[in-house]
């Protein structure tokens, strides 16, 4: 991690390629500028990939040392096996099991016979219908998961709606406001761009793009 004064740009020539570590810093030391370092202890990862982001999330979940319930919790024959961190106004249905480490945000409603496995984080105001299974996944805010759907090793962004009888496989990333209709299967390592709508019964084997979010450009 580099923290630099804006004056750093005065030392960068107008070249096509110029690397801070290989080019800029050695040159500044030759010119007797003072560069200082600070040793940061603990875990470190570049979260520029889904895998490294999930690793960082796992580290944070491992820091949950005990079960912590903040505010109101409504349980109907559910089972919590800690460590679990629960926000305010959470509902757990009958025969639902939460196996930590797990974090669940406030206002989330979880139906009957739901299984939430270790290393899962669920955001605010999510809805998990009956018979849902979630393993080692990160669901952000206001996600809705339909009955009998299974999610494993997935990152799922805000306001995504998953239909009934869906299967989301490992190392999948689903963007915000995506809609998966019923009986959709998303294969491993697949990326779904924001606001994509996947029809009933679709088997997604490759990335699903949305031209609205295409960042490519051509010409001068």
- Per-residue pLDDT tens listing for the chain (220 residues): 889 999 998 888 886 788 888 999 999 999 999 999 988 888 888 888 888 899 999 999 999 999 999 999 999 899 999 899 999 999 999 999 999 999 999 999 999 999 999 999 999 999 999 999 999 999 999 999 999 999 999 999 999 999 999 999 999 999 999 999 999 999 999 999 999 999 999 999 999 999 888 766 554 3
pLDDT digits (tens, 9 = 90+) for 171-220: 999 999 999 999 999 999 999 999 999 999 999 999 999 988 876 655 43
CA dihedral 21, 23, 29, 32 (to 10 degrees): -140
pLDDT given for residue 220 in this prediction = 39
Main-chain phi, psi angles of 61, to 5 degrees: -65, -30
Q: State whether 33 and 84 are in the same domain.
A: no
CATH number, domain with residue 110: 2.160.10.10
State the pLDDT at residue 156: 97
CA distance 60 to 81: 18
Whether 143 maps to a domain, the answer reads yes
Residue-range definition of the domain harbouring residue 137: 68-208
Statement to judge: residues 35 and 74 lie in one domain: no
> What's the pLDDT at 218?
56
Q: Whole-angstrom Cα distance, residue 59 to residue 48?
A: 16
Q: Answer yes or no: is 218 within a domain.
A: no
**Same domain, yes or no: 25 and 114:** no
Q: Quote the radius of gyration of the chain (alpha carbons, Å).
A: 22
Residue 115 shares a structural domain with residue 198: yes
- Widest pairwise Cα distance in the chain: 70
Give pLDDT, residue 87: 96
Contact 200, 184 (CB under 8 A): yes
The reply to whether 215 falls in a domain is: no
Q: Does residue 149 lie within any of the structural domains?
A: yes
Q: Tell me: do 14 and 100 sit in the same domain.
A: no
The pLDDT of residue 169 is 96
> Are 196 and 102 contained in the same domain?
yes
Domain count, the chain: 2
Counting runs of H as helices and runs of E as strands, what totals does the chain give? 2, 24
105 with 148, same domain? Answer: yes
What does the block give as tokens for 146? Answer: 């339909």
Query: Would 95 be classed as within a structural domain?
Result: yes
Share of the chain above pLDDT 70, in %: 96
131 and 172 together in one domain: yes
**Side-chain half-sphere exposure of 150, counting CA atoms within 13 A:** 6
Indicate whether 8 and 89 sit together in one domain: no
């Amino acid at each position: 991690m580099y923290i630099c004064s804006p004056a750093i740009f005065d030392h960068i020539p107008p070249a096509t390629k110029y690397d801070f570590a290989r080019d800029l810093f050695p040159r500044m030391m030759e010119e007797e500028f003072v560069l200082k370092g600070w040793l940061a202890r603990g875990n470190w990862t570049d979260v520029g990939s889904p895998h490294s982001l999930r690793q960082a999330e796992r580290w944070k979940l491992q820091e949950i040392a005990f079960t912590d319930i903040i505010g109101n919790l409504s349980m109907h024959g559910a089972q919590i096996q800690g460590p679990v961190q629960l926000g305010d106004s959470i509902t757990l249905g009958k025969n639902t099991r939460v196996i930590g480490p797990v974090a669940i945000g406030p206002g989330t409603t979880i139906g009957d016979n739901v299984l939430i496995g270790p290393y899962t984080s669920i955001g605010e105001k999510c809805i998990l219908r009956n018979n849902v299974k979630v393993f080692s996944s990160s669901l952000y805010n206001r996600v809705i998961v339909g009955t009998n759907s299974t999610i494993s090793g997935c990152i799922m962004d805000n306001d995504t709606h998953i239909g009934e009888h869906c299967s989301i496989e490992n190392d999948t990333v689903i963007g915000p406001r995506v809609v998966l209709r019923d009986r959709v299967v998303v294969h491993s390592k697949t990326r779904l761009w924001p606001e994509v709508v996947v029809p009933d019964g679709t088997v997604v084997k490759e990335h699903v793009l949305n031209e609205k979010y295409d960042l490519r450009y051509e010409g001068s």
